[in-house]
């Protein structure tokens, strides 16, 4: 059964390549049914976040009318990049199946090793300079959130 879901993700990745996108496809499954599909749309939409997994997560959330995808599994043709992995955790997806590795992706010029290494560094020594500012003013929103009785936690 799981093979058919990965097979579909692979079909999507090939479709993406054949229509000008990157070689990545993804499906999200709930109760043994595909509820969302996605493939890389970075160049077609001029959106650097439109990776196959992100596209599928957005569609799944819309389909279920919920930002929480607990009870879902994600099938991706490649080990998720740091951005997609973060989105998978934020979405509370139960399990990820992947085909190609990050090393396979690196061999065809999809190299996320800089991002992985940057995440381990102190913000003061990252490649992209980061400077904190106006913390006191920004804390007001955090304080309001902390005191809000009817907040929806995610």
Please state, in angstroms and rounded to a whole number, the distance separating the CA atoms of residues 126 and 140: 28
Please state, in angstroms and rounded to a whole number, the distance separating the CA atoms of residues 126 and 33: 42
Please state, in angstroms and rounded to a whole number, the distance separating the CA atoms of residues 122 and 114: 14
Please state, in angstroms and rounded to a whole number, the distance separating the CA atoms of residues 65 and 61: 6
Give catalytic residue positions: 53
Q: Do residues 116 and 82 make contact, with C-beta atoms less than 8 angstroms apart?
A: yes
């Amino acid at each position: 059964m799981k093979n058919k879901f990965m097979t579909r993700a692979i079909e999507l990745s090939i479709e993406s390549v054949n229509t000008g996108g990157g070689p990545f496809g993804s499906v999200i499954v709930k109760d043994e049914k595909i509820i969302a599909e996605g493939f890389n749309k970075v160049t077609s939409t001029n959106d650097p976040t439109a990776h196959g997994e992100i596209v599928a997560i957005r569609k799944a959330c819309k389909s279920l009318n919920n930002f929480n995808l607990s009870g879902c599994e994600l099938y991706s043709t490649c080990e998720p990049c740091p951005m997609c992995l973060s989105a998978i955790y934020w979405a509370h997806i139960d399990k990820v199946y992947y085909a190609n590795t990050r090393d396979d992706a690196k061999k065809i010029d999809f190299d996320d090793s800089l991002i992985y290494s940057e995440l381990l560094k102190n913000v003061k020594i990252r490649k992209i300079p980061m400077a904190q500012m106006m913390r006191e003013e920004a804390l007001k929103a955090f304080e309001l959130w902390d005191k809000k009785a009817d907040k929806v936690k995610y």
